[in-house]
Structure 1
Amino acid sequence: MADVNMTDSNATGLPPGWEVRHSQSKNLPYYFNPTEKNSRWEPPSGTDIEKLKLYMARYHSTSGLVTDGAQAPGKIRALHLLVKHNQSRRPSSWREAEITRTKDEAMSIIQGYEDRIKRGEVSLGELALTESDCSSARKRGDLGYFARGDMQKEFEDAAFALKPGQISGVVDTASGLHLIERIE
């Protein structure tokens, strides 16, 4: 990142005064305004989302999948792609400060992604990088290892039903609509 000024709104797409910082505790980027001492996981109002997507994909994603070491007993590892809608429990994301699409519109979007993955045009991880409404997008949707009881029930049931390498159909949770790929 040597040549990129994290506060340069031309590079990040963020409004003036905002910058991208990295959370040590969550190992994820977030948005910070040092003048206002304001931080947030979702981009601030006035963000050029297309510029931000490109910036985040270039400077805040892994080149491959994140590895947490050996699998812990009873845990699996999965990637996911989340499409939120206006009925999601938190209808905002790093991509959009306010998500207004309907659940039907979100379903149409995620089914389009599912079709592209099935045709072999793109991997779930590649799509998650720029299209997922989850902050795990920066890690190609990698959620790391998790056990039963760590995720919402619908998500967990679908993820644990998959064999490594398999991808779920659309999974509906309070967070939104997901495609899940079990890795381990």
Structure 2
Amino acid sequence: MSESGLPASWEVRHSNSKNLPYYFNPETKESRWEPPSGTDTEKLKNYMAVNHTPTARPDAAGQAEGKIRCSHLLVKHSGSRRPSSWREAEITRSKEEAIEILKGYEQRIQEGESLGDIAVSESDCSSARKKGDLGFFGHGEMQKEFEDAAFALEPGQVSSVVETASGVHLIQRYGPVIYTAIY
């Protein structure tokens, strides 16, 4: 049993499309909205209150942690943690094929199309209906590779291909880091 009260191998993650926490088991790749059986619910309530509240948490220097806003375009492949999407019930393309598709979208963006306009019809993420908009997020709320790439971008900049367990992405950052007060 972990400090969160979840059974071994389970962790809390944050869904940006629904702006809610969910439960994920990286060993089995299972994800769910409800806590898995065997959860200590009292311990989980306390953990969630401390670690998953909407107020900013201090960083290592004690400063309010900043949040950024991004959109993304996701192309899943057969090795993605959930190889299905709103577009396709079963995704069978290879990672290499997904990267080639994404590079085609990257070219279209460089030629003047917007990432959001392409994401509406082509992204394998449910955020497609919002032009790929993931809203604001801070450190520790996204997969590490995605977070590192997103925070490295300048406002308005679009990333090159970013690989995560979800698939391959193009990420576009909007505006400066936003800091919120801690109360």
* Superposed counterparts of 1:160-175, under 5 Å: 160-175=151-166
In structure 2, what is the equivalent of residue 86 of structure 1?
78
* Cα distance in 2, alignment partners of residues 97 and 87 from structure 1: 14
User: Post-superposition, which runs of at least 4 consecutive aligned residues in structure 1 deviate over 2 A?
Assistant: none
Q: For residues 9-60 of structure 1, what are the alpha-carbon distances to aligned partners after superposition, in whole Å with 9 as ceiling and x for unaligned?
A: xxxxxxxxxxxxxxxx939xxxxxxxxxxxxxxxxxxxxxxxxxxxxxxxxx
Gaps spanning 5+ residues in structure 1: where? 1-24, 28-71
> How far 1:119 moved relative to its partner?
1.2
Q: Given the alignment, which residue of 140, 149, 155 partners 2:146?
A: 155
Output the CA distance in 2 between the equivalents of 1:26 and 1:179.
Answer: 20
Q: Aligned partners of 1:104, 1:79: CA distance in 2, in Å?
A: 23
Once residues 80 and 166 of structure 1 are traced to their aligned partners in structure 2, the CA distance between those partners, rounded to angstroms, is 12
- Cross-structure match for 2:132: 141
Does structure 1 conserve the Cα–Cα contact (< 8 Å) formed by 2:65 and 2:139?
Answer: no
Aligned-CA RMSD value: 1.6
Match of 1:75 among 67, 80, 94: 67
The answer for the alignment partner of 1:107 in structure 2 is 99
TM-score (norm 1): 0.60
**Structure 1 residues 54-80: Cα deviation after superposition (integer angstroms, max 9, x where no partner):** xxxxxxxxxxxxxxxxxx960000000
Cα distance in 2 for partners of 1:78, 1:115 equals: 19
Q: Work out whether 1:127 is the aligned partner of 2:118.
A: yes
Q: Percent identity?
A: 72
Q: 2:171 aligns with which of 157, 176, 180?
A: 180
Residue 116 of structure 1 is matched in structure 2 by 108
* Offset of residue 156 of structure 1: 0.1
Q: Distance in 1 between matches of 2:150 and 2:95?
A: 22
Q: Report the secondary structure of 1:183's partner residue.
A: strand
CA contact (8 A) 2:77 2:95 kept: yes
Q: Counterpart amino acid of 2:164? A: T
Q: SS where residue 170 of structure 2 aligns? A: strand
Aligned length: 115
Q: Which of 1 and 2 has greater Rg?
A: 2
Cα 1:125–1:119 change in 2 (3 A) is: same
